[in-house]
Amino acid sequence: MRYASHIADLVGNTPLVRLGRVADGVAATVLAKVEYLNPGGSAKDRIASRIIDAAERDGLLQPGGTIVEPTSGNTGVGLALVALQRGYRMIFVVPDKFTGEKTAVLRAYGAEVVEVPTNVPPEHPDSYYSVSDRLAREIPGAFKPNQFANANGPRAHYETTGPEIWRDTDGRVTHFVAGIGTGGTISGTGRFLKEASAGEVVVVGADPEGSIYSGGPIHGYAVEGVGEDFYPDTFDPTVVDRYERISDAESFAMTRRLAREEGLFVGGSSGMAVVAALRAAEGLSGDDVVVVLLPDHGRGYLSRLYDDAWLDARGIHLDSSLTNGATR
């Protein structure tokens, strides 16, 4: 018989799917790596077991211990799968910007969720970084994975995501496009692909307007799970060849197009990444292969970017120039 011992054992080996309608007129082959097909629904599943394995090996996490992590939701789900498998208590600190479906999912897995204000700087005592630090100090046996500084994050993508893309494209990938949050996905995957191709693969970072990575003024934005107002230790800027700066309206319009035209029900950061991928593909030949990583499922965004009233309340208007396929 063929079966997995636990759902957490099924992480990885997600497929590549060619984008058709949204890439109409593009000569290059544009392939989406569909990470929402991981069991927890996102690319973050990949990092969880490696982070917990290392913590157990180093004596940082003991049987019956508690995992405390600041998260927008996806990392929490990945950690929850491993915690359930191994019997750990879970406490996730979540900015109130992300409450709703995402926190409901975390609670469904049995996690405790602590909600904190979104619009405070990282050093503020009420930020999700500071609150998670305090809880990790105060709770006996607590371990904070700290995805923003844990080298096992990019290492997981170097060891799995990159090799999968290289294998499934028969080494023909020429461009890799991904959003940047902690930077672990693009740093680990991009580094592997550059090494495998002797530096030939071009790595493109997709970044929301308002984030620090791509320059320009830093301000708030509505797309979730990407962008930052500081440079995490898990981000290696030497891997990224160039950046594409994407507005919320462009990201969300493309996200909706992916659902309607490609059958890919994804979150806003996936739409952002595809906009960047189509920009990267402009002018490329039929021999080029652009792989864009779609980080997560759309289930956590039904009351947000898929809700017209939510968009209107934030002044985000998806006009016909965006919904009909313009990428700039």
Catalytic residues: 44
Amino acid identity of residue 44, one-letter, is K
- Which residues on neighbouring strands pair with residue 89, listed in sequence order? 66
Helix axes 74-86, 101-108, angle to 10 degrees: 0
Pinpoint the alpha helices (H) of 211-324: 248-257, 268-281, 308-313, 320-323
Q: Where are the beta strands (DSSP E) in 13-101?
A: 16-18, 29-34, 66-70, 89-95
The DSSP symbol for 14 reads: P
**Total length of the chain:** 328
Cα-based distances in Å from 228 to 123, 178, 252: 14, 15, 19
Question: Which structure tokens are listed for 61?
Answer: 């996490």
Rounded Cα distance between 91 and 80, Å, is: 10
- Picking from 3, 6, 30, 2, the residue whose alpha carbon sits closest to that of residue 16 is 30
- Picking from 307, 283, 271, 270, the residue whose alpha carbon sits closest to that of residue 14 is 270
Q: Is 262 helix (H, G, I), strand (E, B) or coil?
A: helix
Q: 10 Å Cβ neighbour count for 54?
A: 16
Question: Which structure tokens are listed for 271?
Answer: 């739409």
Q: What is the CA radius of gyration of the chain?
A: 19
Q: Tell me if 38 sits within 8 A of 14, measured CB to CB.
A: yes
Segment holding 163, helix H or strand E: helix 162-168
Question: What is the β-pairing status of strands 242-246 and 142-143?
Answer: unpaired
